[in-house]
Structure 1
């Protein structure tokens, strides 16, 4: 469970994965009401999560339905019986949830009319996860949660949580020459559109009938040669997407041309290699079931690959 105490008490992290699925089944509410559809996400053995290009992060905690009346009773009564939170605290909680100030007998007479809401915490426990310390509260079906509750789940919050679930393909750029190149020789770089396409994740709360889809679209490739002894094409190192591809594939006859996307090393890598890092920027946006939507911060994802650079050997006659 997510609480060691109720009504503003200290919070403890929920079990890993608690937010990945959920719903209602009769008198029970599963431990995680958010359902994710990842069928249009990046797939395969080589994918990764995007990192926000700004200081923004998805919500560390949020409020959503968590208990039916029977479940709240089953959760709280063992805590009270164990006297683990102290007599005075337990008495206050009994008064709140059992004695009618403001709830009576865990709202059992309204079991089919609503749910007890409580906080959920991102499974990575980022800074701020312990800020959701409102007491467990009741919301009737069809009603909005109290106005003073920050981070009550909405389509926008679902979109921000889906941001965390986006997975994009590893950026292994094609190079020509591949693997080993020469000093002062332009190396072409490109990503083919066949392996580079938009991905999306939909998050929903079926209990509330709300959802949001977060979509990531690749827009540019940033090349870091791994050394200051190099120049990039273009000079900024940022290669824009063009007709679904980034850069241009090298073909015979291009040797004397300047690549639209690439790098030229000015010094040998000696007995080792340079770590060329290719980072893709993904433009991320969302649409919600309430008709709202918009942009979220761009995401980035990249990885290094080895490039060996050799001196051009001259022949004396």
Structure 2
């Protein structure tokens, strides 16, 4: 004797019918692919691009040669860890996503790759460069501003209750525009 559950959806309400069924042989059960469940777990996550923190601040003006600090806020949606699970057919997969690196395209042809969330700038740092995620512009933003693109690479490790495991990778982007000017001293 086996218990059979069938679900129906008429577009407004979902119904489930449960009944006992007599069979001489067990019903065939399609094998559950843990990789498919892993993708379903990832689909439940909200993974975003970096929540950009940058100095000079958008709307302000930076200077050629001065340090630029870049960072992202740390949270499950912007840096991780972000955890979700999916189950089917007696198999459960748990996926954990964390940002592996952030590639900052600085708008001047240079790319800075950071493996940390970066350090938020504080005025007490003065002219010191960022200890883990920084840049210096060598010329002013002649087209009005530099368009900065920050791309997070999320590493998503998953583990199934069957012992199988794997890794998925996804990327997310955020952008910001900053202005950089040049200061020249005029002597008398």
**TM-score (norm. length: structure 1):** 0.47
Is the Cα contact below 8 Å between 2:51 and 2:73 reproduced in 1?
A: no
Provide the residue aligned with 2:103 in structure 1. 222
Q: Which runs of 5+ in 2 are unaligned?
A: 10-15
Higher strand share: 2
For 2:56 and 2:90, how far apart are their aligned partners in 1?
Answer: 53
Higher helix share: 1
Provide the residue aligned with 2:39 in structure 1. 160
Deviation of 1:167 after TM superposition, in Å, equals 2.0
Deviation of 1:144 after TM superposition, in Å, equals 4.4
Deviation of 1:302 after TM superposition, in Å, equals 1.4
For 2:136 and 2:22, how far apart are their aligned partners in 1?
Answer: 67
Provide the residue aligned with 2:49 in structure 1. 170
Higher relative contact order (CA 8 A, sep 6+): 2
Query: Is 1:191 matched up with 2:82?
Result: no
Is the Cα contact below 8 Å between 1:278 and 1:302 reproduced in 2?
A: yes
Say which one has the larger Rg.
1
How well do the aligned residues superpose, as a CA RMSD in angstroms? 3.1
For 2:139 and 2:22, how far apart are their aligned partners in 1?
Answer: 72
For 1:269 and 1:263, how far apart are their aligned partners in 2?
Answer: 14
SS in 1 for 2:51: coil
Provide the residue aligned with 2:13 in structure 1. none
Provide the residue aligned with 1:106 in structure 2. none
Q: Which piece of structure 1 moves more, 252-261 or 304-313?
A: 252-261
**TM-score (norm. length: structure 2):** 0.74
* Count of equivalent residues: 172
Q: Which runs of 5+ in 1 are unaligned?
A: 1-25, 32-67, 71-109, 115-138, 146-151
